[in-house]
Amino acid sequence: MSFTEPIATLYRMRALENEGDDIEVIEDILNELAFNGRNTIIPDLCLVMQKRNNRIDFQKRWR
């Protein structure tokens, strides 16, 4: 199962800096990842949660 799209969605929402955030969508994605994901998604989630100045690294990774 690929988690590329849900993680990319989390990243896009993070980049908006609380503009248009929908906590229910974030919660649903995190629940899906928690129940179905493997430990290989942890580095990607860390990139999502890092400071905004690291945005370029994440965008390069998911292109």
Specify the DSSP element, H or E, that contains 60: helix 55-61
What's the confidence (pLDDT) of residue 13?
Answer: 81
Q: How many domains does the chain have?
A: 1
Residue with the larger pLDDT of the pair 27 and 49: 27
**Residue 39 is part of which domain span?**
4-61
What's the pTM? 0.65
The structure tokens 């905004």 sit at 52
What's the confidence (pLDDT) of residue 48?
Answer: 82
Dihedral sign for Cα 33, 38, 43, 44, please.
negative
Question: Residues 39, 16: contact at Cβ < 8 Å?
Answer: no
CA 14-57-38 angle, to 5 degrees, is 70
